Structure 1
């Protein structure tokens, strides 16, 4: 239960909510996950994109109707507690926190990879995390404003990349790349799901949205639809320009696409767009994780110290400052592919609980057929087990740490 002194302020409208969702997806997906998806499935990544998009749609419908019934901070952590019980809620919240913390590290590395030469990638990524953590602690309206600017710049750069990709081709564009197998396609879908995970970010900020029962479902479905169209265009143009093998081999694939043009300026524009897109995703992720941590701390599933809301800026500043520090450490010790795999593991389990929660809703609160919820739950589990083995084992270990913490805390309280 929150009081007026620790409640967050409702300041976000529909446009702000859509932009925060787009800022969470664009950058995370387009500039980071297409290369590992191509390495897993070759040209089959297009099928993987369809699978990931369909599972994301199922998850989005579940998240939208749950957010309308429970318009408070915490997302599926709250939904799991309300619909399934305390342990499933904690499982979802902990999965979200660890998965999106890894996502934040991935976005910081992506930003620096496009922005600076290789020797400077890690230091610049850490500086970016520190700067955006400070921005988030200054208030949610500043977060929405900066995300809006970054999304506009990113979409402009993507337009350039798409045009160049459809009108130019590298000499190696005809190389087939990895063979297309069912397992590889499903693994590519798991990587590409990382690209869609931001569509429900606004659900974790339900306590700050104006008219949440109406705004949140519209914002989630609108942001997902826009992202799906953009992703499809980028995937087709990148495959046309580079081919599956060239796309898999590039550390900055859209810059490589732009480099096939006769002029130098498209590559410059795309690098700027990639950097701003990654910053937008990182900014929105820090905000979302902070709100979930706030909700967990309010219920004592994380230390109560994290539940503090700044008296002036009305944000969970302690949670966000600690998160920023953890992400900086991850940036220093991990690489991009590992961060994406681990992130997908946590986020897919988070949405697994969301789908199960939506399946239990009664007819009054159900806005979509129940079959979408069960399909989304099964799809999430299928994609989890096809992720790289290292990501699965690491994810299970970190999950057990969180579950063990909660078990010990409950026994100590008794």
Structure 2
């Protein structure tokens, strides 16, 4: 397709920043600290710094690339333009498989808080269908709903932190526990890889580059705003739950923020945390569906996914076939799978996605450069290190799914050339 239909540029800095926030401040802030504490104890604070630094390096690379290539697809497009079709495909495939699993996990997290016992899967599927319908009717609807969800989640987190500080307040002696390095550097790096899952939403801004007004100015600014706010929020939550529960308490509780609130004098606020987690899951799921649709659109335009997915709705100007297809796959996963390990699997795919982004940004000419090359080098090295320290099962599943993707593209290319 020489002149594929274009998406409409309707997003400003505020809306783009809110979509990034809605992607990052999702269910991860309510649950990701548990596996991180199990891996590193109090060292999760160091892991959080590592994850934030890697996210910063990756974000600067994404911003620099998005300003030069303001079209849908994110690193899939950047990899193709700077490094060639195969690196671009690997980036796009990593994003699609990782974030599809993550979308299913977000829907199931929402249902765990909002659904009656026994109805979790049907409610999760209903949430996917509802939010796909919102995305289907245009990106301004997506941004409008995201604005409401982000405000609600930040309000719930503020109430939770205030409740933890009520009465006698947290005990900062609990923060350090047995020491930041008690679980060793391997544990700290593994916690960083797991916590990175909660930062990865800023890519959603870049994947929607074709729908942003003044992309060279708006995308870098929106990514910086969204990432900066998220780092502050996560740091406050991490210090709060460690202060109240201690490292062992965080590691042993699947809902550490709710448990911390129940320990305070304002235990009545605990249900607010549940509502906040449900709303955060919806916000993350909404942005995931949007980002997955745009990346699938870009891959379909280049025939790396079926070309039918490249269709743009004539009225709503969204990649409706791609979004509906993604929704069907997510619903199928929800119906049959247990996704408790989705954080590690998603981190595997997304870290390799950003590895390609850092390498692609490193090759950009001086005219397009906004950040030092050292940041791209550090970001690439950090992505490889964090992937290597993820749980072995997550690494094994990730390698298997990448092998499936490579085989698919190889067969397609052989069919075309033959």
After TM superposition, the score normalised by the length of structure 1 is 0.96
Q: 1:102-121 maps to which residues of 2 (within 5 A)? A: 102-121=101-120
1:3-402 maps to which residues of 2 (within 5 A)?
3=3, 6-167=5-166, 168=169, 179-402=182-405
Whole-angstrom distance in 2 between the partners of 1:2 and 1:12: 26
Contact 2:22–2:283 (8 Å) recurs in 1: yes
Distance 1:243 1:119, change over 3 A: farther
Residues 352, 143 of structure 1: CA spacing in aligned structure 2 closer, same or farther, 3 A cutoff? same
- Given the superposition, is the C-alpha separation of residues 335 and 31 from structure 1 closer, same or farther in structure 2, using an over 3 Å criterion? farther
Contact 1:28 1:107 in 2 (8 A): yes
Q: Find the aligned partners of 1:116 and 1:254 in 2 and give their Cα distance.
A: 20
Deviates more, 1:246-255 or 1:365-374: 246-255
CA distance in 2, matches of 1:36, 1:120: 26
Cα distance in 1 for residues equivalent to 2:349 and 2:183: 26
Q: Distance between the aligned counterparts of 2:273 and 2:296, measured in 1?
A: 34
Larger mean Cα displacement after TM superposition, 372-381 or 332-341: 332-341
Q: How far does residue 278 in structure 1 lie from its aligned partner after superposition?
A: 1.0
Q: Is the 8 A contact 1:93 1:296 kept in 2?
A: yes
Change (3 A) 1:320 1:115: same
* Distance in 1 of aligned mates of 2:184 and 2:292: 35
**Cα distance between partner residues in 2 of 1:404 and 1:66:** 28
State the 1:256 CA deviation: 1.4
* 1:352-411 deviation per Cα after TM superposition (whole angstroms, max 9, x unaligned): 000000000011100000000010000001000111111111011111111111111011
Partners of 2:157 and 2:348 lie apart in 1 by 27
2: CA distance between counterparts of 1:124 and 1:260? 30
| Aligned 8 A contact 1:255 1:270 in 2 | yes
Residues of 2 paired with 1:204 and 1:179: CA distance? 39
In structure 1, what is the Cα distance between the partners aligned to 2:117 and 2:287?
25
Looking at structure 2, the residues matched to 189 and 106 of structure 1 have their Cα atoms a distance apart, in angstroms, of 20
Mapped contact 2:163–2:265 kept (Cα < 8 A)? no
> Within 1, Cα distance between the matches of 2:217 and 2:337?
40
Provide the rounded CA distance (Å) in 2 between the counterparts of 1:39 and 1:346.
22
Alpha carbons of structure 1 residues 202 and 147: separation in structure 2 relative to 1, 3 Å: same
Single out whichever of 288-297 and 121-130 deviates more from structure 2: 121-130
TM-superposed CA distance for 1:134, in Å, is 1.4
Q: By how many angstroms is 1:200 displaced? A: 2.3
Gaps in structure 2 of 5+ consecutive residues: none
* Greater displacement, 129-138 / 178-187: 178-187
CA distance in 2, matches of 1:182, 1:166: 31
Q: Bigger CA drift: 368-377 or 335-344?
A: 335-344
Q: Is the 8 A contact 1:20 1:202 kept in 2?
A: yes
TM-aligned CA deviation for residue 27 of structure 1: 1.2
Deviates more, 1:31-40 or 1:288-297: 31-40
Comparing 124-133 with 10-19, which one deviates more in the overlay?
124-133
1:327 deviation in Å? 1.1
Which has the higher mean CA deviation after the structures are superposed, 95-104 or 265-274? 265-274
Unpaired runs of at least 5, structure 1:
none
- Taking the aligned partners of 1:336 and 1:179, their CA distance within structure 2 comes to 29
CA shift, 1:28, in A, is 4.0
Change (3 A) 1:341 1:378: same
Partners of 1:384 and 1:391 lie apart in 2 by 9
